[in-house]
Structure 1
Amino acid sequence: MTGPRVTLYSRPGCHLCDDARAVIERVCAELGETYAEVSIDDDPALGERFGEEIPVTFVDGRQHDFWRVDEQRLRTALTA
């Protein structure tokens, strides 16, 4: 697979997004993975799709979590 395995959909000023980013950064650094962050405010279709469910985390193109990121669950998904 090319590119980051984890995508974080977020919006500026979102404290849950800040918390999710910290978990994702820690797990990705530990496992040698990268992640991409996309602001739903930059794309009306994403804003419509995710609305108030942010942050939303995708792993390998599939939705993994929303609102909170469980560190162990993310680690398991990336090592499976």
Structure 2
Amino acid sequence: MRWWRRAREGAPQRSVVIWSRAGCHLCEQMESVVRDVAEGSAGRRGPGRGRPPVAIEVRDLDEAGREDPALLAELTTLVPVLEVDGRRVAHWQVDAQTVRAALLD
């Protein structure tokens, strides 16, 4: 597997966005799962091994919706929403396996 790790080490940073709302317990759960995977604690290979670096941003949908009402209307019933590199990966709930697959995709 050494060749695989070397190939992934040079990979560009992945951009992860979690669309959230204040007081949302599902949002907190999703953020926890994503951070655990990104930090390697939920992974099988140990911290950061063979994974590209990850930038996680939690965005408040209600705040963003003031400037973009269409976004608010689109995501309002789906929160929390997980996006990786601009691609919607999950909404409501996510497991570590789904996050790992999205980060390695």
Which residue of 39, 46, 55 corresponds with 1:34? 55
| Partner SS for 1:69 | coil
What number of residue pairs does the alignment pair up? 79
**RMSD between aligned residues:** 1.6
> Can you give the 5+ residue segments of structure 1 that lack an aligned partner in the other structure?
none
> What TM-score, normalized to structure 1?
0.86
> What TM-score, normalized to structure 2?
0.68
Q: Deviations over 1:21-68 (max 9, x none)?
A: 100110111144221110001022232220121000001111000000
Q: How many angstroms apart in 2 are the aligned matches of 1:26 and 1:73?
A: 13
Q: How many angstroms apart in 1 are the aligned matches of 2:17 and 2:23?
A: 18
Question: 2:79: which partner in 1?
Answer: 54
What's the % identity of the aligned pairs? 32
Q: Flag the structure with larger Rg.
A: 2
The answer to whether 1:79 aligns with 2:100 is no
Higher share in helix: 1
The answer to whether 1:13 aligns with 2:34 is no
| Partner SS for 2:98 | helix
